[in-house]
Chain A
Amino acid sequence: MCRGMGESLAFTKDVLLRTLELLTAVPAGSVQEEEMREIRTRVQMAQNAIIQNERKIWLRTKEGKEMIGEFGVASTKLLGAVERLQRQRAPDAALLKDLKAALGEVEFHAKRVNEESRRRSMAVT
Chain B
Amino acid sequence: MATYGVTASEEPPLREDHPLRAHDNYSESKIEAEALIRASGVPSAILRISAIAVADIVELPETIPYREDQRVEFIYVGDAARALLSAFESPEARGRAYNIAGGGSWQVTGGEYIRRFYEALGVEVEPCFSEAYTALDWYDTAPSRLLGYQRSTLNGLEARLRAVGERLGLR
A1 within 8 A of B: no
A112 within 8 A of B: no
B121 to chain A, nearest CB (A): 8
For A65, the chain B residues whose CB sits under 8 A away are 169
A51 to chain B, nearest CB (A): 15
**A62-B169, A63-B168 given; A57·B60 CB < 8 A:** yes
Judging by beta carbons under 8 Å apart, are A124 and B51 in contact? yes
For B121, the chain A residues whose CB sits under 8 A away are 57
Q: Is the interface of B mostly helix, strand, loop or mixed?
A: loop
Judging by beta carbons under 8 Å apart, are A62 and B168 in contact? yes
For A56, the chain B residues whose CB sits under 8 A away are 59
Q: Which residues of A contact B (CB under 8 A)?
A: 55-58, 60-63, 65, 117, 120-122, 124-125
Q: Which residues of B contact A (CB under 8 A)?
A: 51-54, 56-60, 121, 123, 125, 168-170
Q: A57-B123, A57-B125 are in contact. List 7 more A-B contacts (CB 8 A).
A: A57-B59, A60-B170, A61-B168, A62-B169, A63-B168, A124-B52, A125-B52
